[in-house]
Structure 1
C-alpha cells in the first residue's frame, strides 16, 4: 500500500481519497534522489518510496491544464498541480509524537486520584458505590452534575484499568524466569551424554577401521594382523609415504597422454574415505575376498571408486614394500640361523612353487598355456622362497600354470642371487642341479636308501615344510583361495607380491631364530 516515507508521517493512500494531499515518487536521477534522501534524513530507501505533498512548500508546485477528454469524462476542474522538476522537500517535523491513545491515557492518570487508580490496578473487579465516587470527584452540586462526573470518572477509570492490565500482560510475557544453576548443569550433562551416544552410533553404523578397533579378533579376521596395535604399528611405517601416493586414475590419464607422472597431483576435492579407511578397505578385499560391489555397499561408495582404491593401494604397497630389499645376505641368514638347521647351516633359502586358480581365458591358446594338470584348472604359478628362520625373502612374478618348476626357477632370476658357498632346499620335483651353481638339498627319488640317507631325507622334508606353512599363510587371504577374476584395473601379480610381503609384518616367525 503506498505511504509516505518521511519519518513520523503516517499518511497512506488508502482512506485519504478526495483530499488535497498527494504522493510523489522519488526521482530516478541519483543526484536528485540523494537530495530527497538527505532532506528526509533517510538512507537506502526502496526504489518505489514516495513522499506526500505536505513535505513540500507551496512554491514547489506548478499548475498545468488537464486534457479536454479527461475534463469531459470526470468532470474535474481544468487545472491540476504537479511538482516542479527541481523541487526538493523542505517541510519535516522530527518531534517525537505520541500514539493515538497516549493523550487519553495521560488525562486519565491526571484526573483519577491515586487511591482509585490503585484500586483499579488491583483488579477492578469490585466497584465502589456511586456515592463514594461522587464524593471523591465533587464536593457539592446538583444530582445531574454528580451523575455526569461519575460517568466521566467511571469511563476514565475503566480506560486506566485496560492500560494497567495491558502493562501487566506485557510484563508477564517479557519476564522469563532463569533456570537455576543446578538445572543448567544437569542439562549440560544430558547434552554431553547425548553427543557421545550419537558419536558412538555413528561409529557403529560406519563400516571402517574405527568400528573394529576394540576387537582384536575382528581385526585379525578383516586384516590378518594379530591385533589393532600391530596394525597401527605397520601404519606408522607407511604413513609418511602416503602423501606421495599417485592415484590410479591420474596414472591412467598420464599414460593416455604420454605424460610423465613425477609427483602426486594436489586434489581439489576431498577424498570420500580417509587414507587409513582406504587401507582398511584394501586389506578387507585381500583378506576376506569380498567382491567390489559388496565393498561399495559396506563403505557407502561407488563400485568404480572401490576399483580405483584397490588399484592405487596395490601399486603403492608394491612400490613401498618392494623398495625394501627382502633378500638377505649370507651373513644375515647365518646371524639368525635356528638351531634346527645346524646340520644344514649353509642353507640360504627354501624354495617351493604355488599355483593360484584363475578365470579361464577365452583364447584357446591361453587356455592351453594356463591349464595345470596338477590342479585340473587354469592356474598362475609363482616361486616363493623363505629364509631358514621364516621370513619371505624371494617372490617371483606369476607365470602360466603349465610351466615346469625347473623352467620357473630359471626364469625367476633367483639363480643369479645364489653363490657357491650357499645351499637351497627344495622339493624332490625341483630338478635344478644342472642350472644352479650352489648346493641343493632335495629328497631323493629312490625308495631304497641307506640309514644315514634316511635320516638326512627326513630332516630335509621336515625343514622344507616351513615354506609350505608360509605359503599356506599367504593363501589364507581369501582372495587367493577361490578362482581369481582377471581385472583390467589392478595387477594380480602385484597383489600376490603384496600379500607375500605383508606376511612378514602380519605373522611371527615359524622357527625361533637364534641370535649369534
Structure 2
C-alpha cells in the first residue's frame, strides 16, 4: 500500500528505494490528539491508513525498554506472519494464488515501519518525555493486533476447497443456461422444448446427416451444432431474429443468413430421407385395421391447410404462382393473404407428400394438378379424403380412385363411373381426425407454420427452384415430425 504523509504541506510518499519511514497514529486518545495537533489540519481526523513520515520526528536516545532487540524481533516476526496470512486470505478471495511460505512478508517496508520505533522518539512538537509513551503505544498496538488474530485460527485448505466448490457450482449453472451440446445431451425435455425432437439421440442423428453438407457454410462464431440448433429454435418457437441474435451472441444478419442456408440444406438432405412415397407393398403390409376391410388399397389420405402471411407476396413470386396454377371460381371466396398447401398422409400416420404453397384463392383441383401428387399414383390406388376436393377426375386420369369417406361418391376407373353406397359416418370422422391430428401435430411442434409468414420467406430462395424458403420450411417441419414417430395410425 502506498502511504502519503498527512502533515499539511508535506508531499512525502512511500516509494521503492526511499529512506523515509512512516508511522501509524497511537491508539491512546491523549497521545493521538497531540499527533493530530502536530499535523496542523483543521477539522481533520486520522483513519487506519493515516501515516506520518520520519522527517517530522526528532531522534532521541533509546529508552531502556527499547533496548530489548530479541523481544522486538519476535514481535515483528509475529506481526509479519499475521499480515502475510491476511494478505493470502485476501488474494484467495480474489481467485488468485500466492506463492511463498505462510510466514513470507508481503510488505517489508511495513515491517520496517513497525520496527523503526527504536529510532524515533516523538514528533517535532513533542517532548522527550513523550517518546517512550509513543513507543509503548505502538508496541501495545502490535500486541493487540496479534492477540485478536491469533484467537481465530484460519484454515486455508478449507477456504480453498470452499472456493473450488463454489466455482464448480457456478460453472455448472452457466452450462445449464447455455445452448450447447453438453447442456442438451442429458436433458430430453430441453431438447424437446427447443427443437421439437423427442431426445438428444434423434437430434444427434439429424446433425450427423447434415454435417457433411455444412462444410461450405462460413460462420466463425457459430459451430455446426449451434447453427442447427438456432434454425430448429426458429422453426420450433417462431422466435424473432433479434431474439436469436441475443441468445447466441451474434448479429441479426448472421441469424438470417444461417436460417436460410440451413433450411436449404435440410430441404435437400433431410426431406428426401424422411418424406417419401412408400411402396404399395409396404403400405399394404402395415395398413391399419380400420382400413384393411373398407379400403385395402388406400395409398394416401389428402387434405389442404393454409398459413397466413404478413405482407402480400412479392410481385415476382406471385407471377410465378399464377403461372403454375390457374384460379377458379371455386376458390374465389378464399382469402388472398394465405398460402395454401396440399398434404398427403399415409394411413400409418406419417406425412408422405406436401406441396409448395400457392395463393389461397387457388382451387383444390388446380393445386392438386400442379403440385406433383398425381404423378405418384399407380393404377388401382385409392386416394381417401374426408371432404370433396374436386380432384376425382384428375385422380381417375391416373387410373386411381378418389373416395370421400362416409358419403356417396364417384368412383372413376378410366372412363367408367359408378356410385357406391355410403360408408358409415364414423369412418368419415376417423379419417378427418387422422388428417387433422397430423396437420395439428406438425403445426404445434413447429410454431412457425401457424404464421403469419414474414415476407422474406415467401420469395423463391433460388432461381433454379420454384420453392420459396417457407415452402422448404413446411417440408422440413413435416420431415422432422416424421422422425419423431409420434403420429398415431388411423384408427
Q: TM-score, normalised by structure 2?
A: 0.58
1:110-134, CA deviations, whole angstroms, 9 ceiling, x for partnerless residues?
Answer: xxxxxxxxxxxxx99579xxxxxxx
- Corresponding position of 1:472: 440
Structure 2: give runs of 5+ residues left out of the alignment: 1-61, 82-99, 105-153, 410-419, 462-468
Cα distance in structure 2, aligned partners of 1:505 and 1:178: 66
Does the CA contact (< 8 Å) of 1:327 and 1:394 recur in 2?
Answer: yes
Cα distance in structure 2, aligned partners of 1:364 and 1:264: 29
Cα distance in structure 2, aligned partners of 1:407 and 1:483: 24
Cα distance in structure 1, aligned partners of 2:440 and 2:313: 26
1:429-458, CA deviations, whole angstroms, 9 ceiling, x for partnerless residues?
Answer: 3222222211222147769xxxx9343454
Change (3 A) 1:217 1:328: same
Change (3 A) 1:328 1:240: same
Select between 468-477 and 453-462 the one with higher mean Cα deviation: 453-462
Cα distance in structure 2, aligned partners of 1:412 and 1:225: 28
Of 211, 234, 241, 1:292 maps to: 241
Structure label with greater radius of gyration: 1
Q: CA deviation at 1:273?
A: 2.9
Cα distance in structure 1, aligned partners of 2:195 and 2:316: 37
- Corresponding position of 2:306: 355
- Corresponding position of 2:206: 238
SS of corresponding position for 1:484? coil
Any residues of structure 2 matched to 1:389-468 within 5 Å, and which? 389-436=348-395, 437-443=399-405, 453-456=421-424, 458-468=426-436
SS of corresponding position for 1:453? coil
SS of corresponding position for 2:302? strand
Cα distance in structure 1, aligned partners of 2:233 and 2:317: 34
1:172-204, CA deviations, whole angstroms, 9 ceiling, x for partnerless residues?
Answer: 96994479xx94653442233122122133235
Q: TM-score, normalised by structure 1?
A: 0.55
Alignment of 1:198 with 2:170, yes or no, is: yes
SS of corresponding position for 1:504? helix
1:186-233, CA deviations, whole angstroms, 9 ceiling, x for partnerless residues?
Answer: 34422331221221332355356765767655543432234xxx2x11
Q: CA deviation at 1:169?
A: 6.3
Change (3 A) 1:456 1:387: same
Q: CA deviation at 1:504?
A: 0.6
- Corresponding position of 1:278: 227
Does the CA contact (< 8 Å) of 1:424 and 1:439 recur in 2?
Answer: yes
Does the CA contact (< 8 Å) of 2:341 and 2:358 recur in 1?
Answer: yes
Q: CA deviation at 1:501?
A: 0.8
Q: CA RMSD in A?
A: 4.0
SS of corresponding position for 1:496? helix
Cα distance in structure 2, aligned partners of 1:237 and 1:211: 17
1:344-401, CA deviations, whole angstroms, 9 ceiling, x for partnerless residues?
Answer: 1110111111111122246599499699655534122221111111011112222222
Q: CA deviation at 1:512?
A: 7.2
- Corresponding position of 2:296: 345
Cα distance in structure 2, aligned partners of 1:177 and 1:461: 83
SS of corresponding position for 1:487? helix
Structure 1: give runs of 5+ residues left out of the alignment: 1-122, 128-157, 247-262
Change (3 A) 1:362 1:177: closer
Does the CA contact (< 8 Å) of 2:304 and 2:341 recur in 1?
Answer: yes
Q: CA deviation at 1:301?
A: 1.7
Cα distance in structure 2, aligned partners of 1:442 and 1:495: 30
Any residues of structure 2 matched to 1:241-260 within 5 Å, and which? 241-246=209-214
Cα distance in structure 2, aligned partners of 1:214 and 1:345: 43
- Corresponding position of 2:7: none
Cα distance in structure 1, aligned partners of 2:174 and 2:103: 34
Q: CA deviation at 1:469?
A: 1.4
